[in-house]
Amino acid sequence: MSFAVVIFVGSLLLSLPISQVATSDATYFDHLFIAVSAVSVTGLWVESIFDTYNTFGQIIMMMLIQIGGLGLMTFIALIYFRIGQNVRIRDQVAVSNALNNSSLNNISNWLGKIFRYTFIIEGIGALLFATYFIPTYGLGRGTFLSIFMAVSAFCNAGFDPLGNSSMIGLQTQPVVIWTIISLVILGGIGFSVWFDVANQMKKFDRSRPKSALKKAIRQLRPHTKLALKMTILIITLGTFLFLAFEWNNTGTIGEMSIGNKFMTAVFQTVTMRTAGFASIDYTLAHPVSILIFIVTMFIGGSPGGTAGGLKTTTFALVLMLAIAEIRQKEFINFDKHTIPAKLLRQAFVIFLLYTTLLIIGSGLILAFDPQVDFLYILFETISAFATVGVTANLTPTLSMASQIILMALMFMGRIGPMTMFLSLLPSKNNKKRDIKYTNTNILIG
């Protein structure tokens, strides 16, 4: 409900004449679509941001992205804690679940640290962007663009007020590209991973760097290790595959220098996990690359941050479950810890829900726009549902029915598979009917 309220208010503010340029011909539906995309930190649009909104409108969008990235409940809870108001336990639990915090202890400090780290990281990102944007656009506009880009990149939103071609015109600008890469990774890795790594770094013994580093890595929580390993694996593998299939493609990176090819490959792999910035034209990419992008978007970022997608740890648990079944192992272990069967079941249900909704969404869009290549429909659908925001120049050309489906997918994707799973938990009355009968065998496979 909190996301729905922000979307509605945002759509009204964006539809005001004060928010738009004089030449804008956007309808309320267009503003609603963009508000959904901004709050769900996706990045898809049906009307160009650059050609539709003036500076005031872009400030509204930046606020929607920031609220969408951290969550309205997070803002409200922090304000309540800071002014000394009591927050109900069930509301504290809701905020903790939204941020994947497993404990209610010192939740006020936890929220304060999230906001403090967020604004520090976004501030550093804005300063780095300013080294390019201020000399290019002047002090006033350059400063605004730097702040907007920092917020959009950290929140994994993918919006930019620079034009209609995302980062294609800046694909060889290392300061801009590497800053976006860093912000996207930091925003998508998850708040709990930040704090765990920061706590271990505080204990780091500088007099014995090698042994201290090994000890710090060993003492990281299993969740942190799994999230970091999956992130590194996806970025490394995605970069290698992108280079392999696009190396000689003159439509994408074929004519670039080796350094720019590598930078573009890393950028595209990172942004495909959930960010939505583009430094190539996807209609010119190899079909296999599009398929790889789809898989990358499906997996997404890590839980408890600003990222979307299935989530790296959820995918890892489903993969470990499948391997354990093939090997006929009873227990699934990671980092000398056994993963509870209940957690594995939850991961599998989330995977199943995610896959089902993706199939339904892409099927409906295919029904309403049968003339579009299905590969691009699947690309568009997973981009919306995983709150990525990349498109093969397709979103504005789709029918209104398909655009409504995209809005629904973006909204559900931002809420998250875990929230959808929790909403399906049985009520107390249903728990009383949880009856155990004698076992039976059913043939499978």
Sorting pLDDT into bands at 50, 70 and 90, what band is 430?
low
**Residue 439 CA neighbour count, 13 Å, CB half:** 1
142 pLDDT above the threshold of 90? yes
Number of Cβ atoms within 10 Å of the Cβ of 266: 19
Express each pLDDT in 25-78 by its tens digit: 999 999 999 999 999 999 999 988 989 999 999 999 999 999 988 877 677 777
Span 194-207, pLDDT tens digits: 888 888 887 776 66
Take residue 87 and report the two structure tokens written for it. Answer: 């927050």
Averaged confidence pLDDT in the chain: 88
Q: Residue 438 — pLDDT band, cuts 50, 70, 90? A: confident
Task: Please report which residue ranges of 16-71 form alpha helices under DSSP H.
Answer: 28-39, 49-52, 55-70
The region of weakest confidence among 30-39, 122-131, 346-355 is 346-355
| 276 closest CA partner among 300, 254, 252 | 300
Per-residue pLDDT tens for 303-318?
877 888 899 999 999 9
What does the alpha-carbon distance between residue 141 and residue 129 come to, in Å, rounded to a whole number? 12
The pLDDT of residue 113 is 84
Report pLDDT for 313: 93
Closest CA to 110 of 20, 178, 198: 198
pLDDT at 94: 66
Distance in angstroms (rounded) separating the CA atoms of residues 382 and 378: 6
At residue 237, the pLDDT reads 96
**Tens digit of pLDDT for each residue in 149-197?**
999 999 999 899 998 888 999 999 999 999 999 999 999 898 888 888 8
Q: How far is CA 280 from the centre of its chain?
A: 20
Summarize the confidence of residues 274-293 as an average pLDDT: 92
Say whether pTM exceeds 0.85. Answer: yes
* Least trusted range by pLDDT, from 90-94, 201-205, 392-396: 90-94
Question: What pLDDT, on a 0 to 100 scale, did the predictor assign at position 66?
Answer: 93
Comparing 22-31, 92-101, 334-343, the range with the smallest average pLDDT is 92-101
Strand partners, 338: 333
- Would you state the structure tokens that stand for residue 444, as one six-digit string? 């499978």
Longest Cα–Cα distance of the chain, Å, equals 75
pLDDT at 92: 67
In angstroms, the CA 28 to CA 19 distance is 13
* Angle of the 107-137 helix axis to the 72-82 helix axis, nearest 10: 120
Alpha helices in 40-138 (DSSP H): 49-52, 55-70, 72-82, 89-98, 107-137
Q: Find the distance separating the first CA and the last CA of the chain, reported in whole Å.
A: 42
Q: Rounded to whole angstroms, what are the CA distances from 377 to 257, 275, 370, 386, 417? A: 32, 19, 10, 14, 21
Percent over 70 (pLDDT), the chain: 89
Identify the helix (H) or strand (E) that includes residue 224. helix 222-246
The residues that bridge with 81 in the sheet, in sequence order, are none
* Distance (Å, whole) CA 184 – CA 152: 9
Helix (H) or strand (E) holding 104: none
Instruction: Give the pLDDT confidence score for residue 96 in this predicted structure.
Output: 66
Spatial separation of the C-alpha atoms in residues 297 and 385, rounded to whole Å? 9
Q: Are the C-beta atoms of 390 and 293 separated by less than 8 Å?
A: yes
Mean per-residue pLDDT, 337-352: 91
- Dist. CA 102–CA 316, nearest whole Å: 19
Total H helices, total E strands in the chain: 20, 2
Average pLDDT over residues 223-242: 94
Q: How far is CA 143 from CA 133, 218, 381, in A?
A: 7, 42, 34
Contacts of 407 (CB under 8 A, 6+ apart): 32, 33, 36, 37
Q: Average the pLDDT over 419-434 and give the result.
A: 60
Nearest to 351 by CA among 308, 396, 392, 315: 315
